[in-house]
Amino acid sequence: NAAPGILPSLLQCDFGNLQTEVERLVAAGTEVLHLDVMDGHFVPNLTYGMPIVEGLRRHTDLPLDVHLMISDPLAYAQPMVDAGADLLTFHIEAVDSAEHAARVAHSIREMGVGAGVAINPETSMDTLGDCLDEVDMVLVMSVQAGFGGQSFNPIALDRIRQLRQRYPELLIEIDGGINLETIGRARQAGCDLFVVGSAIFGQDDYSAAIASLGRAMVD
């Protein structure tokens, strides 16, 4: 596979042709889909919810990595799992404390799926406390959550380096402004999973775009 760890973000795809879009991504070597769920409250943007997740689930066996940019993650966790999510990532900014985050992660895992916690660039890493001991993945945002097409904030690289040192086994994902220039830097910092929106969906040929990203990652 030309694209280990590259997760296309279904935010800027053609939602009028979702099935075709997924087929094109699969043909390009995609192994996991990243779904951006926004509630118009936690972030000033609105995307989609369970019907799209459930519709995708009927058309693909790919794992669905669901990024919940919503104010009340637990209210929608079970419906998302029922719809077919395989991993649910909520934001540390959406809960009251690191202890609360650990409880939310525990509840998500009890639903039989993986739990991730995401952190925005402007949020202190201290807010995570010890909750990373209770999660399967940490999502280090390299843009403020809410919109595709923003430019990469390099604070994410320092964060990934620190996390990699402290948690050698933890799955680390990065999201926002990942392109041919930034993906290699994120890989070098110790990142495992790379969410990509514009750098794929802004191109006509997804296979070529993903293959170039795969090469840029290891160069």
Which residues here bind Zn ion, judged by CB under 5 A?
Answer: 36, 67, 175
What's the closest the beta carbon of residue 175 comes to ligand DX5, in angstroms? 5
* Dist CA 90 CA 107 (whole Å): 12
175 is annotated as contributing to ligand binding: yes
State the catalytic residue, choosing from 82, 133, 175, 192.
175
Stretch 105-144: interaction string toward ligand DX5, x if CB under 6 A: --------------------------------------x-
Q: Does 178 bind ligand DX5 (CB under 6 A)?
A: yes
49 is annotated as contributing to ligand binding: no
Q: Does 39 bind ligand DX5 (CB under 6 A)?
A: no
* Dist CA 59 CA 100 (whole Å): 35
What's the closest the beta carbon of residue 68 comes to ligand DX5, in angstroms? 10
Has 175 been annotated as catalytic? yes
Q: What angle do CA 94, 100, 105 make, to 5 degrees?
A: 85
Closest CA to 35 of 16, 48, 17: 48
- With b for 16 or more beta-carbon neighbours within 10 A and e for fewer, the 95-134 pattern comes to beebeebbbbbeebeeeebbbbbbbbbeeeeeebeebbeb
Tell me whether residue 16 or residue 168 sits nearer to ligand DX5 (CB atom): 16
- So which residues are the catalytic ones? 36, 175
